[in-house]
Chain A
Amino acid sequence: MSSSDAFISIQNVNKFFGSFQAINNVSMDIKQGEFFSLLGASGCGKTTLLRMLAGFESTSSGEIYIDGQPTADVPPHHRPVNMVFQSYAIFPHLNVADNIAYGLRKQRLSKAKRAEMVDEMLELIKLPGYGQRKANELSGGQRQRIALARALILRPKVLLLDEPLGALDKQLREQMQLELRALQRQVGITFVFVTHDQEEALTLSDRIAVMSGGQVLQVDTPSRLYETPRTREVASFIGNMNFFRGTVRRNGSAMGAVEAEGLGHIPVPLENLTKPDGATVQIALRPEKFLLTEHKPDAEFAIQGKVANAAYLGERSHYYVSVDGKEEPIAVSAQNLDRVNGAAAAPMGAPMWLSWSPDAVVVLDAD
């Protein structure tokens, strides 16, 4: 199960709260120095899993190893992990310096050494000179950084982050994402990051585990999750996706095809077709993989449709193109390469052609 470079190894872990199963047979490995995200909607079990790593929840069955050590009997205050809480949990009766130095008590350092370490951390989180500030004089972003510093000063083997950016406004959140990523590279500590924001997970992570209903659906790099999702659930959770039902037609040539209902034979490279001839599958296409043209393109396969709805978003426009033979319109996202007047490049009701590269097609099992 666990590979040699696994730093955290989660093996067949289950968690029950009464009769409710919060974690359902989860197994995965996290590498040292990795920025690893647990992504899922609320109630999917991601926070429970994080709290199990911290030691605040026990496992009902299964085992979690951190740096090769089983953790079942290790209480939270003896684990080599530290956590950044969703609410930041800054101690209100202590000033910034005492908050950051809180965990150093056991190391019995001299006052000077302690102050030096605190100053170093304040430097790292870009809040130099804030040591004497009171906790209630801080903004959300500053609290978040102090919560980070308070955990990082202990040089944990793993830093656990429970939706630490959730309470910040959009602009600050984007800035903190960049800073968090830079910080992680700088300190080289393994980060396990819980979020429900797929964009945030894609931006920050080396790898992402997509969770739903207490199960892990897929663990992969951001680009692989986006480009080659393994199930329809993963595909629609991360980004937007168009689905077509169809039947595999191998054709005997280098290029296979999926015969989609009402649309004809959609070419698919043979290596992407693992199912036998005649099997029912779904194919999936991201909105931005389409080429939207006025005239019939010089492509192997193209379909004609009508723009049913269009939204101009500045750098790009979103279209819903209704196609004969398919009930739901196809979502298309096109960059506004030319300067356009009015709403969008393709006006409503206009007949347009849709084409795409066969490589862009994702083949999924029929559900």
Chain B
Amino acid sequence: MSPTLAIMTVGILVPFIILLVISFWTRDGFGFDTTFTTNNYVRAWSEPIFGALLQRSFWISGVATLVTVLLCYPMAYYVAFHVHRNKMMWIILMTLPFWTSYLLRVFAWKVILGYEGVINSGLMTVGLIDQPLEFLLYSQEAVIITLAHAWAAFAILPLYVSLEKIDKSLLEAATDLGDGPVARFFRITLPLSMPGVIAACFLIFIPTTGDYITPALLGGPDGAMIGNFIQLQFGRVNNWPMGATLSIVLMLWISLIALVFLFITRKAQEKIA
């Protein structure tokens, strides 16, 4: 058994199996009733609160993923094609915010978006608004904005790598064969950078769906996500089997969405070609 496999087994497979086993147990006071039951899964399926939370989580992190990739693509594109010197420095500067803690960055957005925050007081000083915009903080929008910023590095890096790898003579060949800049982008650059786009989407969508820090701090009642609920099960509610079940259900849904996403991008690529 190679070291890699050993680490993978101890770090991923064993915790997963523990989670899977617990999800078929029941809470019994401060301990577990270890008789096998699928009750938790039936509850997760039948009680509307879980479905609604899942749906909202996918919606929020889906939009956050889209926003992040759309914002980061031009940045990565610029560095890959229009910066000729010190590319590494540009990449480091872009990822600089990620050298601070995640919690700190989320708090920073609280300061920016808050009732008396930077945006509201700024707009009021200029006189564009009379009273603070309330939707800025404790809303789904706040969660999306914060997630889009907090995970930007995970989009910029794979996008940059895939764009940088594109052979410049392919772009010249497309131009030579009659493509203007726009046609060339959609026929050559975008399809060839698709591996980076897909990687960026996965790297953001998967962790943000389960995120509970950002919605807890910025989401308010409308912004709570499935991650908050799972955290509650392992924490205050003290129902580990239910938390485990919800984790497994979330994992299954993410896998399903990822497969559908891969299938769609592959079809789309064939269409463009």
Of B169, B178, B179, B192, the contact of A93 (CB 8 Å cutoff): B192
The distance in angstroms between the C-alpha atoms of A39 and B273, with both chains bound, is 37
Q: Is A54 interfacial (CB-CB < 8 Å)? A: yes
* B-contacting residues, A210-230, CB 8 Å: none
Residues of chain A lying within 8 A (CB to CB) of residue B175: 56, 76-77
A94 lies within 8 A of B273 (CB): yes
The distance in angstroms between the C-alpha atoms of A54 and B192, with both chains bound, is 24
B172 lies within 8 A of A154 (CB): no
Q: Is B89 interfacial (CB-CB < 8 Å)? A: no
Q: Is B130 interfacial (CB-CB < 8 Å)? A: no
Q: Is A259 interfacial (CB-CB < 8 Å)? A: no
A83 lies within 8 A of B178 (CB): no
The distance in angstroms between the C-alpha atoms of A83 and B188, with both chains bound, is 17
Q: Is B264 interfacial (CB-CB < 8 Å)? A: no
Q: Is B132 interfacial (CB-CB < 8 Å)? A: no
A93 lies within 8 A of B269 (CB): yes
* B-contacting residues, A71-106, CB 8 Å: 76-78, 81-83, 85-87, 89, 91-95, 98, 102-103, 105-106
Residues of chain A lying within 8 A (CB to CB) of residue B1: none
Closest B residue, CB atoms, query A56: B172
Q: Is A150 interfacial (CB-CB < 8 Å)? A: yes
The distance in angstroms between the C-alpha atoms of A92 and B171, with both chains bound, is 12
A85 lies within 8 A of B178 (CB): no
A91 lies within 8 A of B170 (CB): yes
Residues of chain B lying within 8 A (CB to CB) of residue A56: 172, 175
Of B176, B191, B273, the contact of A82 (CB 8 Å cutoff): B176
The distance in angstroms between the C-alpha atoms of A102 and B178, with both chains bound, is 9
- Total contacts A-B at CB 8 Å: 58
Residues of chain A lying within 8 A (CB to CB) of residue B169: 85-87, 89
Residues of chain A lying within 8 A (CB to CB) of residue B269: 93
Q: Is B183 interfacial (CB-CB < 8 Å)? A: yes
The distance in angstroms between the C-alpha atoms of A86 and B175, with both chains bound, is 16
Residues of chain B lying within 8 A (CB to CB) of residue A91: 170, 173-174, 188
Of the listed residues A91, A105, A154, the one surrounded by the most CB atoms of chain B closer than 10 A to its CB is A91
A89 lies within 8 A of B173 (CB): yes
A105 lies within 8 A of B273 (CB): no
A89 lies within 8 A of B178 (CB): no
- Known contacts A93-B192, A93-B269, A105-B183; A77/B178 CB under 8 A: yes
A89 lies within 8 A of B170 (CB): yes
A93 lies within 8 A of B180 (CB): no
Q: Is B18 interfacial (CB-CB < 8 Å)? A: no
A83 lies within 8 A of B183 (CB): no
Classify chain A's interface size: 20 to 34
Residues of chain A lying within 8 A (CB to CB) of residue B47: none
Residues of chain A lying within 8 A (CB to CB) of residue B188: 91
Q: Is B167 interfacial (CB-CB < 8 Å)? A: yes
The distance in angstroms between the C-alpha atoms of A91 and B179, with both chains bound, is 14
The distance in angstroms between the C-alpha atoms of A102 and B179, with both chains bound, is 9
B167 lies within 8 A of A154 (CB): no
Q: Is B177 interfacial (CB-CB < 8 Å)? A: yes
B273 lies within 8 A of A150 (CB): no
Residues of chain B lying within 8 A (CB to CB) of residue A106: 178
A103 lies within 8 A of B177 (CB): yes
- Known contacts A89-B173, A93-B191; A77/B179 CB under 8 A: yes
Residues of chain B lying within 8 A (CB to CB) of residue A86: 169
Q: Give A220 Cβ to nearest chain B Cβ, in Å.
A: 29
B191 lies within 8 A of A102 (CB): no
B273 lies within 8 A of A93 (CB): yes
Of A87, A95, A102, the contact of B177 (CB 8 Å cutoff): A102
A54 lies within 8 A of B178 (CB): no
Residues of chain A lying within 8 A (CB to CB) of residue B273: 93-95, 98
Chain B, 158-175, contact with A by CB distance < 8 Å: what is the 0/1 string?
Answer: 000000000101101111
Q: Give A76 Cβ to nearest chain B Cβ, in Å.
A: 5
- Known contacts A91-B170, A98-B273; A54/B191 CB under 8 A: no
Q: Give A75 Cβ to nearest chain B Cβ, in Å.
A: 8
- Known contacts A91-B188, A93-B191, A98-B273; A77/B173 CB under 8 A: no
Residues of chain A lying within 8 A (CB to CB) of residue B180: 77
A83 lies within 8 A of B176 (CB): yes
Of the listed residues A76, A86, A98, the one surrounded by the most CB atoms of chain B closer than 10 A to its CB is A76
The distance in angstroms between the C-alpha atoms of A103 and B269, with both chains bound, is 18
Residues of chain B lying within 8 A (CB to CB) of residue A77: 175-180
Of A92, A94, A95, A105, the contact of B178 (CB 8 Å cutoff): A105
Q: Give A13 Cβ to nearest chain B Cβ, in Å.
A: 20
Closest A residue, CB atoms, query B191: A93
The distance in angstroms between the C-alpha atoms of A95 and B270, with both chains bound, is 11
Residues of chain A lying within 8 A (CB to CB) of residue B172: 56, 76, 83, 85, 89
The distance in angstroms between the C-alpha atoms of A220 and B173, with both chains bound, is 31
Residues of chain A lying within 8 A (CB to CB) of residue B176: 54, 76-77, 81-83, 151
Q: Give B206 Cβ to nearest chain A Cβ, in Å.
A: 26
Chain A, 149-174, contact with B by CB distance < 8 Å: what is the 0/1 string?
Answer: 01100100000000000000000000
- Known contacts A77-B176, A82-B176, A103-B178; A89/B167 CB under 8 A: yes
Residues of chain A lying within 8 A (CB to CB) of residue B191: 93
The distance in angstroms between the C-alpha atoms of A151 and B177, with both chains bound, is 7
Residues of chain B lying within 8 A (CB to CB) of residue A93: 191-192, 269, 273
Closest 8 CB pairs of A and B: A103-B177, A89-B173, A89-B169, A83-B176, A77-B175, A103-B178, A93-B191, A76-B175
- Besides A77-B177, A77-B179, A105-B183, 15 more A-B contacts (Cβ < 8 Å) are A54-B176, A56-B172, A76-B172, A77-B180, A78-B178, A82-B176, A83-B172, A89-B170, A91-B173, A92-B192, A93-B269, A93-B273, A102-B174, A151-B176, A154-B178
Chain B interfacial positions (CB closer than 8 Å to A): 167, 169-170, 172-180, 183, 187-188, 191-192, 269, 273
Some 7 contacts from A to B, beta carbons below 8 A apart, are A56-B172, A82-B176, A87-B167, A89-B169, A102-B177, A105-B178, A151-B176
